[in-house]
Amino acid sequence: MSELNNIPSEKCSIVERLSINDQVSNLFIKRDDLIHPLISGNKWRKLKLNVLHVQQNNLNGILTFGGAYSNHLLAVAMAGKIYAIPTAGIVRGDELNAQSNLMLSLCDSLGMKLKFVSREEYQYKEESEYKQELLTEFVNYWIVPEGGGNYQGVIGCMDILLETSNDFDFVCVSQGTTATSLGILLAIPATTKLLVCPALKGFDSISEMTKKLARFGFDKEYIDEKMSQVIVLNSDDLGGYGKATEELKLFSNQFTRNTNIPIDLTYNAKSLYKLEEYIQTKKLYESKILYVHTGGFS
Ligand SMILES: Cc1ncc(COP(=O)(O)O)c(C=O)c1O
């Protein structure tokens, strides 16, 4: 249990050489999955500055949102336990309860107050009026959006690259809210290309990333310059969010057998599959490439 009670900083900066075939010699993997068993990968990066904000401003707790199997909810619950910050989770689905599955019961046992709301109500999670209403129940709590993709989340993700040599030709990462990929994009030099692989079918990465940077107040020229570094690896043919083709499952099992590195099907298996395909198509055998392992369970 002791490893659950702290975030070992020495585990944050592990970069290993990754061997996928004999032709590719300069491929590395950033093992953010090793940071913590429950606040793994990008979860801790996105939460770190949110935790700091709550501590510095003497706020009463963190309130956030998630589905029935949300890795993010569990990470927030665990962070709350470690840093003695009360946590509340607004869960999509009023048919659920704290014993509906292992993820929710872990959140509950870590002290997170779970509030189950209808799918209809959950849709209001970004509306300021709804958030104000929640704050009357959870007074002086800091509201973190679903997936942890706020400004603090993005800036926290810059560290993923800043603690490496940061001299790669390509960096590759999977994408959900875009917070992790944006943090990496802000951290890399202009000579590095960022390969993003969205887990959601039909997701418009370029438009979503651009919108978020604009919302954070970056000016248009800087945004255009940064976005010109982004290349999207579309994974729509691999099953869509929460699904996986047989080919993807086979790839994932083989990858773990060959490297001894566990990966989840929703995010990392898809992006690693697409990265390998991209390397082969573009014959990037000499390029220095970093793959960022973002952790995850399913
Ligand atoms: C394991 C894993 N990888 C990648 C992502 C995508 O990260 P982001 O939402 O910051 O784009 C997520 C979602 O948070 C995730 O759980």
pLDDT, tens digit, 9 for 90 and up, residues 200-221: 999 999 999 999 999 999 999 9
Q: Whose CA is nearest to atom 13 of ligand 1?
A: 176
Q: Kindly tell me the burial class for residue 119, based on how many C-beta atoms sit within 10 Å of its own C-beta (0-12, 13-18, 19 or more).
A: exposed
Q: State how far the Cα of 35 lies from the Cα of 12, in Å rounded to an integer.
A: 5
The answer, yes or no, to whether any atom of ligand 1 lies below 6 A from the CB of 295, is yes
Q: Is 1 helix (H, G, I), strand (E, B) or coil?
A: coil
From 42, 155, 272, the mutation candidate for ligand 1 (largest count of ligand atoms within 8 A of CB) is 42
Local confidence band at 270 (pLDDT 50, 70, 90 cut-offs)? very high
The predicted structure's pLDDT at residue 293: 97
pLDDT, tens digit, 9 for 90 and up, residues 145-185: 999 999 999 999 999 999 999 999 999 999 999 999 999 99
From 31, 71, 173, 180, the mutation candidate for ligand 1 (largest count of ligand atoms within 8 A of CB) is 180
> Which strand ranges, in their side-by-side order, compose the sheet holding 61-66?
113-117, 87-92, 61-66, 141-143
How far is ligand 1, taken at its centre, from the CA of residue 147, in Å?
7
From 76, 177, 233, the mutation candidate for ligand 1 (largest count of ligand atoms within 8 A of CB) is 177
The answer, yes or no, to whether any atom of ligand 1 lies below 6 A from the CB of 183, is no
2 pLDDT higher than 60: no
pTM over the 0.75 mark: yes
